[in-house]
């Protein structure tokens, strides 16, 4: 029996063992020895090497020229957008609140500078000098007369007239037993006559009991406003309310770059962009060959911009608003990188301020959201890595051993094998958002981030030596390599990214190559040579686009190092990779590859969200991707804006028109199907899917695929719908680019949309031949299709693209609920016609219970119910693949429901009856009429058990 390492771990309960190793690693990491100054400096220099690529940069090398030019232009643009300095301090041109922290107490015991107002009831006020958050001062207002108590403290601030302004008033607030009422921050504005021009807002009101939290009010001032009133108030309630750290900021000047205001909420992403621009300036300053290399003016600009951004917004006195990621991840990482780049030139007190800011927003990288937030939770996946990276680099730049050790220890959780939810599964699957196959984007982000940190820390006292890190290393071959074809990341594992105009599959493929080449810097020589060979093979076989096109300087440096490594290209192995946990089958044939995208009660039809992939809901209805060596641009060549998203190749579809976001966003909805799964041998693969169509149309179908070195056989049965609309199975829907090519059916060229009854073969020039084994009614066409990226992405461009498509469809009638065909990739029309006379494919069964096919010595059967297909029978759901030769046999059996503890299969006839080798999961019971096989499938989650038989 052959099981992957992940399967073996799962079967033995070794996920727990990995967790035990990981726990031990955490303890050891947290007790890591102190590092001396030289070690910290070595790590900082390593990180600067990564950020700049300076060890490889050669300005005379044509590959570096465009990257250096692009960097310089980016910096030039950034410097031109630096905002002018404000002399009297950030956020305003005049002083605002007096005593905003309440720490100055008057003789009456009330906070100095604040005017008390008690219109009704009885309430008392006390300044608690260490009662606020972080042991600062706070003003406590307590009701003494019950629900009628009203007490406020206010200030009026003069506002220069004539200029419309936006102000933000924030406070830290806490409440105990606030029974109701209207307690709040009161903000209003007056004109020169004393008339209210901006009234007090209605809420949000502070009620109940709650710990310290941020409270914010925003106010738009019209030109006639000359006075702003700010007040804190307990209003018609029992209980006590505390206020601390009142801040009034004028959003007009809260920016470092003129086009990136930090306020109001919704603009927090501008803080990230601000730090990234500063990092670009710092990177150019540190990059040999840049026009700004060691340029004093660029250095001063970067230092000044860092200081301004820290003072204006990114500091412990500014609570998070809007998206947490902007504060804790995006900004923290870019700031830490700039600290590493400019460490020798940042004033010590400023450096401490920046470190304090990161420590405030990322107090513990194992968590996300602020400490007092009800949303605070353990971070996971790429988010955990990003948070740990921010702290690791800040700790290296700031020589903080304890925080460095804690952040490094936090990385281990992200590569542990999971049994549900997000992350890596034991069969190599990578899932995000619980139901979406995402190796090519979210998984890739994780790999890229970890590869850089592994390379950074390799062979140091903080090297990542957790024994479970082998899981991540295994993912290169087990998770990522199978889904890369000639430097492209296969689309069925890219999720919403298929709808992104500026992130094509080749872009994600290049990112993966960069990540794997970087990770190779941290492993032993043989593994590094293997991975580099893989990367070189992908680049060598890709003639679509150069990896240097649009690459940054450090990316060029990584590829230059890869090319100079001396590694020999390592071709991709032929055969299948079955990702049972994410319903994807990848198969490499003779100079071609296919990927079959399915869905199940575990895996969503698709994912949309943020306006992305709004019409992608049929891309897992059995969509069959065909990758050809002479057509590797197929899916990147405007396929997604121009193809028929309602009927992708390989799918069975109901033609009912469905709206955007059918089945909802974020992959929250999955079909309640019977099963999806398969089986695999070294060079043969079987997949099956009980399809329930999206949108509640009533579409059902049973679909089977058998992949062999020279063909893909597809079967369908039980094809029905409840909508009354047409149902069809799409044999082919091929993007031919901008030129028409020949489509032939039974020797007749198709020049206009046509339907043919009982055809036997078809051929698309430069693509494939098609054996039409059971296609009673074929619709064929070659025609232009036009569309824009905006149809499937709300932010996509509206530019119209036109491509020519060859389409073959099996149109189902109510009394014809089956189909069968074979795809012969790269085969000529003559060979297809000849093969059609003697296909050599025997359809053994194709009904509601069994779908089975025989070709040569290979038999394959998917069992939906009790039944028999040729020499294989089974009385339960199963996927069975067998290759029986005289005296020997190979068998692969899975439980595609992921629920059964055992699967029992019977091989009829005179079969080999002994195991070749040992297997704890397989029991053989020879009988007079054949061989009964019982396979232990407990805990395998659909992964097949593979074994050999002999006489």
- Euclidean distance between CA atoms 866 and 863, whole angstroms: 7
Q: Which residue has the tokens 């730049």?
A: 397
Q: Do 862 and 850 form a contact (C-beta atoms < 8 A)?
A: yes
Nearest CA-CA partner of 46 in 383, 340, 273: 340
**Please, what is the Cα angle at 583 between 580 and 588, to 5 degrees?**
80
The DSSP bridge pattern shows strands 196-198 and 208-221 to be: unpaired
Taking each helix axis from N to C terminus, what angle separates 331-342 and 381-398, rounded to the nearest 10 degrees?
30
Nearest CA-CA partner of 874 in 889, 859, 887: 859
- Residues facing residue 205 across a β-bridge: none
Residue 600 CB partners (closer than 8 Å, separation 6+): 583, 670, 671, 673, 675, 676, 689
List b or e across 805-828, with b for residues whose CB sees 16 or more CB atoms inside 10 angstroms.
bbbbbbbbeeeebbbbbbbbbbbe
- Euclidean distance between CA atoms 364 and 360, whole angstroms: 9
Q: Residue 109 to residues 103, 112, 630, 729: CA-CA distances in angstroms?
A: 11, 9, 83, 81
- Euclidean distance between CA atoms 408 and 29, whole angstroms: 7
Q: Give the torsion through C-alpha atoms of 385, 386, 389, 394, to 10 deg.
A: -150
- Euclidean distance between CA atoms 187 and 171, whole angstroms: 12
Sign of CA dihedral 707, 712, 715, 716: positive
Q: Give me the DSSP letters along 27-66.
A: HHHHTPPP--HHHHHHHHHHHHHHHH-TTT--TTSTTHHH
Q: Which residue has the tokens 């946990």?
A: 581
**Which structure tokens are listed for 868?**
């028999």
Q: Do 397 and 306 form a contact (C-beta atoms < 8 A)?
A: no
**Which structure tokens are listed for 280?**
């670009």
**Please, what is the Cα angle at 649 between 645 and 654, to 5 degrees?**
60
Q: Residue 3 to residues 6, 580, 921: CA-CA distances in angstroms?
A: 8, 13, 11
**Which structure tokens are listed for 951?**
């006489």
Helix residue ranges per DSSP H, 81-215? none
- Euclidean distance between CA atoms 582 and 568, whole angstroms: 32
φ/ψ of residue 477, rounded to 5: -85, -30
Helix residue ranges per DSSP H, 399-425? 401-409
Nearest CA-CA partner of 164 in 222, 97, 82: 222
Q: Do 923 and 937 form a contact (C-beta atoms < 8 A)?
A: no
- Euclidean distance between CA atoms 514 and 512, whole angstroms: 5
**Please, what is the Cα angle at 640 between 635 and 643, to 5 degrees?**
95
Q: Which residue has the tokens 């940190």?
A: 453
Nearest CA-CA partner of 595 in 509, 483, 735, 443: 483
Q: Do 947 and 5 form a contact (C-beta atoms < 8 A)?
A: no
- Euclidean distance between CA atoms 451 and 521, whole angstroms: 9
- Euclidean distance between CA atoms 268 and 447, whole angstroms: 27
- Euclidean distance between CA atoms 680 and 686, whole angstroms: 6
Q: Which residues are catalytic?
A: 383, 433, 442
φ/ψ of residue 328, rounded to 5: -90, -25
DSSP 571: P
């Amino acid at each position: 029996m052959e099981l992957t390492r992940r399967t073996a771990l799962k079967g033995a309960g070794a996920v727990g063992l990995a967790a035990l190793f990981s726990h031990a690693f955490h303890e050891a990491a947290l007790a890591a020895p102190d590092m001396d100054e030289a070690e910290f400096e070595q790590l900082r220099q390593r990180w600067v090497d990564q950020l700049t690529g300076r060890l490889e940069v050669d300005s005379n090398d044509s590959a570096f020229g465009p990257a250096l030019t692009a960097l310089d232009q980016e910096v030039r643009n950034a410097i031109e957008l630096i905002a002018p300095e404000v002399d009297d301090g950030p956020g305003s041109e005049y002083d605002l609140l007096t005593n905003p922290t309440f720490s100055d107490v008057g003789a009456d015991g009330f906070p100095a500078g604040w005017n008390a107002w008690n219109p009704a009831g009885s309430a008392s006020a006390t300044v608690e000098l260490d009662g606020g958050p972080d042991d600062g001062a706070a003003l406590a207002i307590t009701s003494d007369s019950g629900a009628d108590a009203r007490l406020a403290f206010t200030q009026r601030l003069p506002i220069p007239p004539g200029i419309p302004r936006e102000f933000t008033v924030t406070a830290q607030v806490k409440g105990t037993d606030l029974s109701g009422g209207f307690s709040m921050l009161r903000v209003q504005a007056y004109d020169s006559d004393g008339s209210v021009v901006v009234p007090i807002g209605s809420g949000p009101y502070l009620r109940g009991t709650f710990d310290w939290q941020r409270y914010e009010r925003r106010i738009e001032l019209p030109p006639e406003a000359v006075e702003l009133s700010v007040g804190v108030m307990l209003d018609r309630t029992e209980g006590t309310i505390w206020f601390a750290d009142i801040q009034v900021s004028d959003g007009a000047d809260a920016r470092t770059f003129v086009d990136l205001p930090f306020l109001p909420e919704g603009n927090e992403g501008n803080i990230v962009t601000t730090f990234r621009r500063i990092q670009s300036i710092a990177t150019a300053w540190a990059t040999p060959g840049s026009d700004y290399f060691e340029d004093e003016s660029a250095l001063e600009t970067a230092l000044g911009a860092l200081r301004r951004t820290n003072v204006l917004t990114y500091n412990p006195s500014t609570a998070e608003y809007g998206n947490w990621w902007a504060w804790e991840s995006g900004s923290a990482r870019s700031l830490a990188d700039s600290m590493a780049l400019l460490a020798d030139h940042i004033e010590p007190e400023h450096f401490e301020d920046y470190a304090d800011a990161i420590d405030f927003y990322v107090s513990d990288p194992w968590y996300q959201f602020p400490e007092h937030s009800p949303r605070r939770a353990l971070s996971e996946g790429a988010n955990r890595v990003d948070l740990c990276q921010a702290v690791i680099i800040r700790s290296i730049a700031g020589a903080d051993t304890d925080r460095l050790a804690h952040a490094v220890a936090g990385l281990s959780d992200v590569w542990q094998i999971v049994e549900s939810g997000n992350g890596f599964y034991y069969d190599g699957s990578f899932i995000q958002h619980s139901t979406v196959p995402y190796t090519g984007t979210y998984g890739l982000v994780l790999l890229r981030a970890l590869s850089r940190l592994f390379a950074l820390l390799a062979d140091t006292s903080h090297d990542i030596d957790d024994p479970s890190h082998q899981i991540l290393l295994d993912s290169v071959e087990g998770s990522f390599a199978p889904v890369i074809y000639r430097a492209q990341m296969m689309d069925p594992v890219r999720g919403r990214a298929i709808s992104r105009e500026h992130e094509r599959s080749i872009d994600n493929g290049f990112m993966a190559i960069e990540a794997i080449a970087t990770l190779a810097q941290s492993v032993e020589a043989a593994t590094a040579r293997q991975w580099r060979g893989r990367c070189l093979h992908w680049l060598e076989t890709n003639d679509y686009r150069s990896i240097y096109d649009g690459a940054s300087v450090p990316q060029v440096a990584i590829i230059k190092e890869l090319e100079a490594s001396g590694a020999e290209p390592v071709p991709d192995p032929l055969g299948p990779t079955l990702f049972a946990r994410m319903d994807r089958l990848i198969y490499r044939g003779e100079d071609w590859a296919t990927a079959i995208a399915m869905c199940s009660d575990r895996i969503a039809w698709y994912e949309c969200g943020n306006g992305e992939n709004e019409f992608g809901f049929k891309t897992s209805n059995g969509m069959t991707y065909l990758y050809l060596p002479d057509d590797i641009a197929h899916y990147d060549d405007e396929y997604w804006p121009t193809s028929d998203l309602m009927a992708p190749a390989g799918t069975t579809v109901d033609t009912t028109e469905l709206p955007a976001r059918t089945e909802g966003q974020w992959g929250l909805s999955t079909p309640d199907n019977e099963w999806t799964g398969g089986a695999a041998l070294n060079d043969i693969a079987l997949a099956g899917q009980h399809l329930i169509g999206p949108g509640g149309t009533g579409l059902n179908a049973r679909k089977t695929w058998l992949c062999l070195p020279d063909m893909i056989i597809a079967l369908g049965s039980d094809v029905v719908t409840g909508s009354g609309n047409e149902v069809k199975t799409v044999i082919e829907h091929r993007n031919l680019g901008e030129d028409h090519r020949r489509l032939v059916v039974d020797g007749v060229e198709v020049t206009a949309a046509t339907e043919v009854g009982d055809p036997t073969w078809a051929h698309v020039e430069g693509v494939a031949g098609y054996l039409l084994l059971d296609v009673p009614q074929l619709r064929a066409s070659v025609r232009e299709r036009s569309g824009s990226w905006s149809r499937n992405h709300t932010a996509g461009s509206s530019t119209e693209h036109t491509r020519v498509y060859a389409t073959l469809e099996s149109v189902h009638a109510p009394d014809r609920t089956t189909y069968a065909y074979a795809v012969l990739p790269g085969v000529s029309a003559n060979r297809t016609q000849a093969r059609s006379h003697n296909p050599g494919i025997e359809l053994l069964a194709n009904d509601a219970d069994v779908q089975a096919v025989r070709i040569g010595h290979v038999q394959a059967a998917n069992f939906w119910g009790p039944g028999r297909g040729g020499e294989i029978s089974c009385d339960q759901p199963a996927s069975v693949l067998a290759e029986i030769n005289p005296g020997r046999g190979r068998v692969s059996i899975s439980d595609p429901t992921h629920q059964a503890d055992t699967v029992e299969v019977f091989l009829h006839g005179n079969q080999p009856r002994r195991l070749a080798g040992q297997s704890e999961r397989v029991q053989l019971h020879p009988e007079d009429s054949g061989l009964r096989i019982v396979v232990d499938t407990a805990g395998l989650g659909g992964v097949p058990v593979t074994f050999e038989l002999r006489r």
